[in-house]
Amino acid sequence: MNFIYDLHRTMMAEKLILVYEGDFTQESTKSILSMAERNLDSAGESSGTKRKVFNVMVEALQNIVKHSSEQGLQAGSLISRSAIFMISKDDLRYCVMTGNPIPKSRVAKLTNNLTELNNKDKEGLKEMYKEIIKNTQISEKGGAGLGFVDMARKSGEKLGFSFAEMDSEHDFFCLKVTISREKE
């Protein structure tokens, strides 16, 4: 049972204030957002910081719900619809972090899209956003591709991302969005 203490120490060291691991549904997403909102309110954050953090959280959670691997848990497999959502907070910033399984076939395109997005400045992100809106076509998953662009615009920072190999068909997509704390 030492893992409980180890997990607690890790959470304290990483300054994690909220962690949820499991299947993500619209219902669990609402609960996570509600808990996080209470946490932001009780911390006395500026309205600008709360708005940015909340917006990034909504986009990140929608990304998990819409784009997590559709694979069911298979005997002997680590692949499931299970994902993770975390928020950390220090004196200068909040970090919204997510992780979810995706098919390897999506990794190259996602890497290219995120790299292109990270190479844009504020004006470039604004133009990219407008271009997507103008030429939007809703995907079969219900999105138009605005989520990552919106997260980058709201955070004003580059999106951190990586992929960890799970098996021959899936990688675990990790995303980190940093939002600076404003002082009122």
Domains and CATH numbers, the chain: 2-180 (3.30.565.10)
CA angle 34, 27, 33 (to 5 degrees): 20
67 vs 109, residue with greater confidence: 109
- What value does the mean pLDDT of the chain take? 87
CA–CA separation, 122 and 126 (whole Å): 6
**Side chain identity, residue 98:** T
Residue 183 has pLDDT above 80, yes or no: no
Collapsing DSSP to helix, strand or coil, 17 comes out as strand
CA–CA separation, 183 and 126 (whole Å): 25
Which residue in this structure is represented by tokens 């995303």?
Answer: 175
CA–CA separation, 31 and 18 (whole Å): 12
Collapsing DSSP to helix, strand or coil, 10 comes out as helix
Residue 69 has pLDDT above 50, yes or no: no
Residue 80 has pLDDT above 70, yes or no: no
Residue 73 has pLDDT above 50, yes or no: no
Residue 19 has pLDDT above 80, yes or no: yes
Helix axes 147-155, 122-134, angle to 10 degrees: 150
pLDDT of residue 163: 97
Q: How many CA atoms lie within 13 A of 3 on its CB side?
A: 1
Residue 71 has pLDDT above 50, yes or no: no
Residue 156 has pLDDT above 70, yes or no: yes
Provide mean pLDDT across the span 52-65.
92
